Amino acid sequence: MNTPVKGPNAAPRQSKANGTQQKVYQIDQQVASLTEQCHALARLHMKGILASAAFTAQTVKLNGQLTGLRNERRATLRMNDNDDQLNELRALNDRLTGLNFQDELNGELLRDVVQSIVPGPAELCFTLLDGLALTEALPNMERRWKR
């Protein structure tokens, strides 16, 4: 769902998104700096200024730091994706809370929350806008499809 978050929780979520972007930016800056250090070491080694043993030791150290930063960046982005999915689920829950599905289910509600409906031999699979898939068994449908 690409619905903007409204209400009292809007500011903290926006602030968290900005915090995540800031953290990723800082990690990117550190990665750029370490990458430049690796290039500088390579240039010194190629010119014969830096011995092979020292070059190898420093390169291994820097590559380890780079790997750690890249893993941290991926984890930060993955946490942000999880937060986005949780926010979408909360918005869906807010939309559905209090509805009596026997009386109030209508086409507008379905358009608001269902991305697709895929029929199967004995079930329907509803994919909601946030990606959550729900399968509903249809009793006795296998016999109807086989005819």
Read off the pLDDT of residues 16-44 as tens digits, 9 standing for 90 and up: 567 788 999 999 999 999 999 999 999 99
The whole-number pLDDT of residue 35 equals 93
The whole-number pLDDT of residue 30 equals 96
79 vs 1, residue with greater confidence: 79
Among the listed residues 14, 139, 28, the one whose alpha carbon sits nearest the alpha carbon of residue 80: 14
The per-residue pLDDT for range 73-132, each reduced to its tens digit, is 988 888 877 777 777 777 777 777 766 666 556 677 777 778 888 888 888 888 887 777
The whole-number pLDDT of residue 98 equals 65
Q: Is the pLDDT of residue 57 over 90?
A: yes
Q: CA–CA distance from 91 to each of 46, 77, 128, 132 (Å)?
A: 57, 21, 12, 13
To the nearest 10 degrees (0 to 180), the angle between helices 52-96 and 10-46 is 160
Distance CA 18, CA 40 (A): 33
The whole-number pLDDT of residue 68 equals 93
Share of the chain above pLDDT 90, in %: 33
Is the distance from CB of 70 to CB of 31 less than 8 angstroms?
yes
Burial category of 6 from C-beta neighbours within 10 Å (exposed 0-12, middle 13-18, buried 19 and up): exposed
Stated as kind and residue range, the H or E segment containing 136 is: strand 133-137
Residue length, the chain? 147
Beta bridge partners of 137: 123
Q: CA–CA distance from 5 to each of 13, 81, 93, 110, 129 (Å)?
A: 8, 15, 13, 20, 15
